[in-house]
A = this chain, B = another copy of it.
Protein backbone atom coordinates (compact mmCIF):
# COMPACT_ATOMS: atom_id res chain seq x y z
CA UNK A 1 0.00 0.00 0.00
CA UNK A 2 1.40 3.40 -1.03
CA UNK A 3 0.30 6.32 1.14
CA UNK A 4 1.11 10.04 0.74
CA UNK A 5 1.24 11.99 3.99
CA UNK A 6 1.35 15.75 3.36
CA UNK A 7 2.44 17.98 6.21
CA UNK A 8 1.65 21.68 5.95
CA UNK A 9 1.71 24.64 8.26
CA UNK A 10 -1.54 25.60 9.99
CA UNK A 11 -3.20 28.79 8.84
CA UNK A 12 -1.63 31.73 10.64
CA UNK A 13 1.75 30.08 11.21
CA UNK A 14 4.61 32.00 9.58
CA UNK A 15 6.22 30.19 6.64
CA UNK A 16 9.74 31.69 6.38
CA UNK A 17 10.83 29.28 3.63
CA UNK A 18 7.81 30.21 1.51
CA UNK A 19 8.31 33.93 2.14
CA UNK A 20 11.96 33.80 1.18
CA UNK A 21 11.19 31.77 -1.93
CA UNK A 22 8.67 34.45 -2.90
CA UNK A 23 11.31 37.17 -2.38
CA UNK A 24 13.86 35.25 -4.46
CA UNK A 25 11.36 34.68 -7.28
CA UNK A 26 10.46 38.38 -7.29
CA UNK A 27 14.14 39.32 -7.45
CA UNK A 28 14.55 36.94 -10.39
CA UNK A 29 11.88 38.87 -12.26
CA UNK A 30 8.71 36.89 -11.48
CA UNK A 31 6.87 40.02 -10.40
CA UNK A 32 3.41 38.43 -10.53
CA UNK A 33 4.00 35.96 -7.69
CA UNK A 34 1.64 36.83 -4.84
CA UNK A 35 2.50 34.17 -2.30
CA UNK A 36 4.47 30.95 -1.90
CA UNK A 37 3.73 28.23 0.65
CA UNK A 38 5.82 25.14 1.31
CA UNK A 39 4.53 21.65 2.15
CA UNK A 40 6.32 18.36 2.65
CA UNK A 41 5.06 14.97 1.53
CA UNK A 42 6.19 11.61 2.88
CA UNK A 43 5.47 8.84 0.38
CA UNK A 44 5.23 5.73 2.54
CA UNK A 45 5.19 2.20 1.14
CA UNK A 46 3.77 -0.14 3.76
CA UNK A 47 2.88 -3.77 3.92
CA UNK A 48 -0.82 -3.56 4.72
CA UNK A 49 -3.78 -5.18 2.98
CA UNK A 50 -6.54 -2.89 4.19
CA UNK A 51 -6.93 0.73 3.11
CA UNK A 52 -8.66 1.91 6.30
CA UNK A 53 -5.97 0.27 8.41
CA UNK A 54 -3.24 1.96 6.34
CA UNK A 55 -4.83 5.38 6.87
CA UNK A 56 -5.15 4.68 10.62
CA UNK A 57 -1.47 3.75 10.81
CA UNK A 58 -0.44 6.83 8.81
CA UNK A 59 -2.43 8.98 11.26
CA UNK A 60 -0.59 7.44 14.17
CA UNK A 61 2.75 8.08 12.38
CA UNK A 62 1.78 11.75 12.05
CA UNK A 63 0.87 12.01 15.72
CA UNK A 64 3.99 10.24 16.92
CA UNK A 65 6.69 11.45 14.51
CA UNK A 66 5.90 13.24 11.28
CA UNK A 67 3.88 16.28 12.37
CA UNK A 68 4.12 18.81 15.17
CA UNK A 69 0.53 19.41 16.29
CA UNK A 70 1.33 22.95 17.45
CA UNK A 71 2.14 24.19 13.94
CA UNK A 72 1.27 21.45 11.44
CA UNK A 73 -1.80 19.94 9.91
CA UNK A 74 -1.66 16.80 7.82
CA UNK A 75 -3.49 15.12 4.98
CA UNK A 76 -3.38 11.42 4.18
CA UNK A 77 -4.06 10.03 0.73
CA UNK A 78 -3.87 6.42 -0.45
CA UNK A 79 -2.03 6.52 -3.80
CA UNK A 80 -2.10 2.80 -4.62
CA UNK A 81 -3.93 0.00 -2.82
Contacts and interface: CB of A to CB of B under 8 A. Distances in A.
Interface of A: 6, 18, 21, 24-25, 28, 30, 32-48, 57, 60-61, 64-66
B42 A36 contact: yes
Contacts of A45: 33-36
A39 B29 CA distance: 26
Contacts of A30: 46, 57, 60-61
A52 to B, nearest CB: 15
Nearest to A31: B47
Contacts of A66: 21
Contact of A65 (B21, B46, B64): B21
